[in-house]
């Protein structure tokens, strides 16, 4: 690339980081005039075209809706740009800073009202934006406040875990990821997770052909099998009884052909993993552990072999 091209890209990326999409596109359109075959310029221009009309339409929305619109569109954008043969990570980084700065600003102007759950979700979304901007300490402070309001939120726990992993605190990350996927795997927005700890696991499970809701349920199962979810906590006093009741209910659900066994089986296997850990820790004998292992074998012979080898 020539000096002029480098200067134009530098200028465009600065606009992208500031969320000024129209200005960035204008610079890139000028650069394309004498660099029509430059893949980085073309990709950056495609990114601007993807976003510019949407961003220009944001003032018509309430602040909270602006934030939600931006992060929802980012999820679709991520799926689209990953299909591009030679997407430029440098461009994505600049654009990410711009989009999540706009989203954070919107959420900061949103009214803190509504139910406790809605307030917790606002703190979570602010934390997500800070995480995407590399402000991990600020993100954890916001997510901790969200957790204080809604301690059983899988989405909040997963974001906290991701921040801990990005800060190199893998032990905290592992125990929180394990907890989040146990509470409700479907509530976790895996497209927004960034740490290599969890992203590597997600890639490995995707390679097995799982997608969508089914993928989400298999992540904690393979998290155990691959040694990622290996930091565990003891079940509290009432939890073993509730867990056994949930397992009994899920076993009955699987017998009904109208239910989706593709989702129920991995969810049930993960429950058995938790119960086995409880029995092993509480020295309740091999008989109960063997009963759990037998049920895992009934549902998936391959998982049973991997777990017991």
Confidence band for 284, pLDDT divided at 50, 70 and 90: confident
Backbone angles phi, psi at 167, to 5 degrees: -90, 5
Average pLDDT over residues 209-231: 98
In angstroms, rounded to a whole number, what is the distance separating the alpha carbons of residues 280 and 283? 5
- For residues 204-234, one letter each, b for 16 or more C-beta atoms within 10 angstroms of the residue's C-beta and e for the rest, the string is ebeeeebeeeebbbbbbbbbbbeebbeebee
Contact yes or no for 175/233 (Cβ under 8 A): yes
Average pLDDT over residues 123-139: 98
Q: What is the pLDDT of residue 285?
A: 75
In angstroms, rounded to a whole number, what is the distance separating the alpha carbons of residues 182 and 232? 12
Confidence band for 35, pLDDT divided at 50, 70 and 90: confident
Is residue 4 pLDDT above 90, yes or no? no
Give Cβ neighbours of residue 211 (< 8 Å, ≥ 6 apart): none
Confidence band for 5, pLDDT divided at 50, 70 and 90: confident
Confidence band for 2, pLDDT divided at 50, 70 and 90: low
In angstroms, rounded to a whole number, what is the distance separating the alpha carbons of residues 29 and 47? 12
Is residue 276 pLDDT above 90, yes or no? yes
């Amino acid at each position: 690339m020539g000096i002029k091209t480098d200067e134009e890209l530098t200028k465009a990326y600065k606009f992208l980081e500031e969320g000024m999409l129209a200005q960035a596109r204008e610079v890139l359109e000028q650069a394309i005039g004498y660099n029509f075959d430059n893949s980085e310029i073309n990709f950056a221009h495609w990114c601007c075209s993807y976003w510019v009309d949407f961003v220009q339409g944001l003032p018509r929305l309430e602040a909270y809706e602006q934030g939600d619109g931006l992060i929802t569109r980012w999820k679709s954008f991520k799926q689209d740009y990953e299909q591009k043969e030679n997407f430029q990570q440098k461009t994505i980084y600049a654009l990410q800073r711009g989009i999540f700065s706009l989203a954070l600003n919107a959420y900061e102007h949103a009214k803190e009202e509504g139910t406790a759950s809605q307030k917790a979700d606002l703190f979570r979304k602010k934390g997500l934006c800070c995480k995407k901007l590399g402000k991990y300490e600020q993100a954890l402070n916001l997510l901790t406040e969200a957790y204080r309001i809604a301690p059983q939120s899988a989405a909040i726990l997963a974001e906290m875990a991701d921040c801990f992993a990005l800060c190199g605190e893998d032990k905290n990350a592992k125990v929180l990821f394990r907890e989040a996927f146990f509470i409700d795997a479907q509530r976790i927005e895996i497209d927004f997770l960034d740490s290599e700890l969890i992203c590597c696991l997600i890639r490995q499970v995707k390679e097995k052909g799982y997608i969508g809701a089914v993928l989400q349920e298999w992540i904690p199962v393979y998290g155990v099998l691959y040694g990622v979810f290996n930091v565990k906590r003891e079940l509290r006093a009432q939890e073993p009884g509730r867990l056994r009741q949930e397992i009994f209910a899920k076993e009955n659900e699987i017998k009904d052909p109208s239910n989706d066994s593709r989702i129920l089986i991995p969810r049930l296997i993960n429950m058995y993993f938790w119960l086995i850990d409880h029995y092993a820790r509480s020295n309740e004998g091999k008989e109960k552990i063997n009963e759990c292992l037998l049920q895992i074998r009934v549902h998936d012979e391959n998982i049973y072999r991997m777990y017991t080898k």
